[in-house]
Amino acid sequence: MAQVQGKIASRLTVIDDEVRRTVLEVLERTPYYAGPETAAFENELAAYCDTKYGVGVNSGTSALLVSLMARGIGPGDEVILPTNTFCSVPEAVLFVGATPVLTDVEWDGNISRAVVERHLTPKTKAIIPVHMFGHPVDMDPIMDLARDRNLFVIEDGAHALGARYKGRRVGSIGHTGFFSFAGKSITVCGQAGMAVTGDQSLAERMWSLRVHGWRQKVGNVWHESERLGLNLRTSELLSAIGRVNLRRLDGWTALRAKNAATYNAIFGASGAPITLPATRSDQEPGWLHYVILVPNRDALKASLAEDGIESGVHYEVPLHRQGAFRPSSQDASKYPVTEQLCADMLTLPSHPWMTDDEVQYVAEKVVAFYEK
């Protein structure tokens, strides 16, 4: 049995000297928002994602919001999205006046073209595929459908920055993609997000919408509002931290993948009733979350906590059972896969700062639970 000291957290943020130096340098100059760090972060993340334009905002939720607004999605429109995702996705749809149409998912936690097709109506205007846990959705069939039906596709890459689908970066496949930097694949030690797109006209509208409807990319010049917008800009401090951590992302993804491979090997050889994460040959997952399906999940979670291991569930209560979204949903029997996933899935710690001994310790404790 591997031995470890102290508790094992489900996520960890490490602040090193480079981040500290960067923060102090930005604090000593102006502007503090909408300046050169934000512009550089937009350009660098867009290039990383193999797209042309980045739109930095104050959260992933805001990145989705300006994507919907830039397309003109609003009252009378329907937007298809999975019911097993974070609440900000239907929130943004509702805030623009559109109707979220909640769907079930496949056993990997993602939607598919087959799922989407069951929910199409003449009012359908957009699809939001969510790359759950960092595992890319099978995007080509969805994009083929979108072209046939003139539908707008917004990739939710909050879990999947750096992941690839058929060699292409997540976020570069739909009309827009968006990411969150609040403790996800990278962190900015605060709230921030970004949308990416290859469409210049969309990018220009999003730049405008995030700053009072002014016509400007970055900067703090007062302009006449050309459209109704909001103040959704992020700070130079957070953009600067994002730039540092973006350079580290590929190394962190490799470490997460290594942890996942260790878990898979131990669980696969154990004989324990553990369903491993579902992957496809066309994916290079980001492995933000390592998620297994297990019987007696809640008891296992409690047992791990007693052993100093923090675990989670993404997500325990699906959207169709949350009061804020019930008018947009049907009864639970319409979501059988999601209901089973929410009952059985458990997210194990797998962050880049875990030691090999810690990963082995967690795996051994999971296996030991089923040997009692």
pLDDT by residue for the chain (372 residues), tens only, comes to 677 778 999 988 889 999 999 999 999 988 898 899 999 999 999 999 999 999 999 999 999 999 999 999 999 999 999 999 999 999 999 999 999 999 999 999 999 999 999 999 999 999 999 999 999 999 999 999 999 999 999 999 999 999 999 999 999 999 999 999 999 999 999 999 999 999 999 999 999 999 999 877 666 666 788 899 999 999 999 999 999 999 999 999 999 999 999 999 999 999 999 999 999 999 999 999 999 999 999 999 999 999 999 999 999 999 999 999 977 666 788 999 999 999 999 999 999 999 999 999 999 999 999 998
Predicted TM-score (pTM) of this structure: 0.96
249-369: CATH homologous superfamily?
Aspartate Aminotransferase, domain 1 (3.90.1150.10)
Q: Which sequence spans correspond to the domains of the chain? A: 17-246, 249-369
| DSSP assignment string, 106-168 | -TTS---HHHHHTT--TTEEEE--B-GGGPPP-HHHHHHHHHHHT-EEEEE-TTTTT-EETTE
Exposed e or buried b per residue across 281-318, where buried means at least 16 C-beta atoms within 10 angstroms of its C-beta: eebbbbbbbbbbbbeebeebbebbeebebbbbbbbeeb
CA dihedral defined by 225, 203, 64, 180, rounded to 10 degrees? -120
So what's the architecture of 17-246 in CATH? 3-Layer(aba) Sandwich (3.40)
